[in-house]
Amino acid sequence: MKKLLVTGSSGLIGSEIVERYCKSGWDVYGIDNNMRADFFGPNGDTRWNQKRLEQIHKNFSHFEVDIRNREKVLETLREIKPDAIVHTAAQPSHDLAASRPFDDFDTNANGTLNLLEATRRHCPEATFVHLSTNKVYGDAPNKLNLIEKETRWDYGDEEYYDGIKESFTIDQSKHSLFGASKVAADIMVQEYGRYFNIPTCCLRGGCLTGPNHSGVELHGFLSYLIKCNLEGRKYTVFGYKGKQVRDNIHSYDVVSFIERFIEKPRIAEVYNIGGGRDNSISILEAFQLIQDISGKDMIYDYSDKNREGDHICYISDLSKMKAHYPDWSITKDLKTTFQEIYESWLARTKVS
């Protein structure tokens, strides 16, 4: 029986990975200590997801491990010796990193190093998939020729019509402390691939979303926006006239790509993974789409101050992913994704 280790197994991507591989007959081991609740309070709590997974899947085992605990991480991988590792655990917020820099770096950079070294020592043949972020590019995408349209910002040069490629610079820009800690992790994952010949990849995500996201104001923009609409809560737009653009990819499609990489791994690869142009949307456009679904007006206010290091327009160029894995493609469009998130929040509200 093949074994998979998933860090952040109660989170959005982690839980989707657990579901997929449990159904495929793998023994799946999850590492999660619910740090999201510590970072974001009760609304970020993911215990409900952990309990759901434990109830549904008999081949899933939960380990209450903090990835910052080096000895515990080494011990856990020595015990399990997985065939593949999907590392989704992270401190994911720009804003929180600035107020808790040690927790941010210790989780994102040192936690990743702990896992990589444990992999090298105890299961060097294992495939290591790391959920990185588009924030490794810092605010360099803001320096591109951008044009303002009625409801969104967009790229003004044809070269960037399909989005940002993996060759885009990650240097000489403002990343936020979160972006910087994720750069450190990203480079280490590549280095363990190249230096030790371990099959690794960094997935530099756009907005990863889906119905199992515990979205909060500081992280999980789409999930949180839809929750605000459902509950009649005020949403705050931070700068750029609400026309800032993100490309959104459903967790199902993220996991489908991870499956393909684990089936046919490569050494030290980097991929920009997002919804691409077809699944890109601005905040103003997102307001309109959820209003169309729910029938409720969006309540919001506006702050002129944008978040530090935030992108004005970010779209992932998916051409490298599709070239390397031509049987992979986006299957969930924006309307489907919005509808699923809305129904998930509706169901959770009724349960609570």
Strand-strand pairing, 60-63 and 27-31: parallel
298 CA to centre of own chain: 25
Q: Above 70 in pLDDT, residue 219? A: no
| CATH number of the domain encompassing residue 132 | 3.40.50.720
Percent of the chain with pLDDT over 90: 87
Q: What is the pLDDT of residue 85?
A: 98
Question: What whole-number distance in Å separates Cα of residue 207 and Cα of residue 283?
Answer: 12
Q: Above 70 in pLDDT, residue 186? A: yes
Average pLDDT estimate for 285-305: 96
**Band of residue 167 on the pLDDT scale cut at 50, 70, 90:** very high
Q: Above 60 in pLDDT, residue 352? A: no
Residue 75's closest CA among 104, 115, 21? 115
Tokens at 286, concatenated: 């997102």
Average pLDDT estimate for 147-160: 98
Question: What whole-number distance in Å separates Cα of residue 148 and Cα of residue 334?
Answer: 22
User: Is residue 91 a contact partner of residue 181, using CB atoms and an 8 Å limit?
Assistant: yes
Q: What is the pLDDT of residue 304?
A: 93
Q: Above 90 in pLDDT, residue 232? A: yes
Conformation bin of residue 77: beta by default, left when phi > 0, alpha when psi is -120 to 50: alpha
Is the whole-model pTM more than 0.85?
Answer: yes
Q: What is the pLDDT of residue 345?
A: 87
**Band of residue 215 on the pLDDT scale cut at 50, 70, 90:** low
Q: What is the pLDDT of residue 299?
A: 97
Q: Between 45 and 352, where is the model more confident?
A: 45
Q: What are phi and psi of 203, to 5 degrees?
A: -105, 105
**Band of residue 162 on the pLDDT scale cut at 50, 70, 90:** very high
Q: What are phi and psi of 317, to 5 degrees?
A: -80, 115
Question: What whole-number distance in Å separates Cα of residue 312 and Cα of residue 155?
Answer: 10
Average pLDDT estimate for 151-175: 97
Strand-strand pairing, 146-148 and 60-63: unpaired
User: Is residue 243 a contact partner of residue 153, using CB atoms and an 8 Å limit?
Assistant: yes
Average pLDDT estimate for 333-351: 88
Q: Which sign, positive or negative, has the C-alpha torsion 259, 260, 262, 267?
A: negative
Residues in contact with 270: Cβ distance below 8 Å, sequence separation at least 6, in sequence order: 132, 166, 186, 190, 201, 202, 204
Over residues 74-92, the pLDDT tens digits come to: 999 999 999 999 999 999 9
Domain that holds residue 254: 3-351
Count of structural domains within the chain: 1
Distances (CA, A) of 38 to 35, 66, 108, 298: 5, 12, 15, 29
Q: What is the pLDDT of residue 146?
A: 98
Q: What is the pLDDT of residue 218?
A: 57
Q: What are phi and psi of 131, to 5 degrees?
A: -85, 100
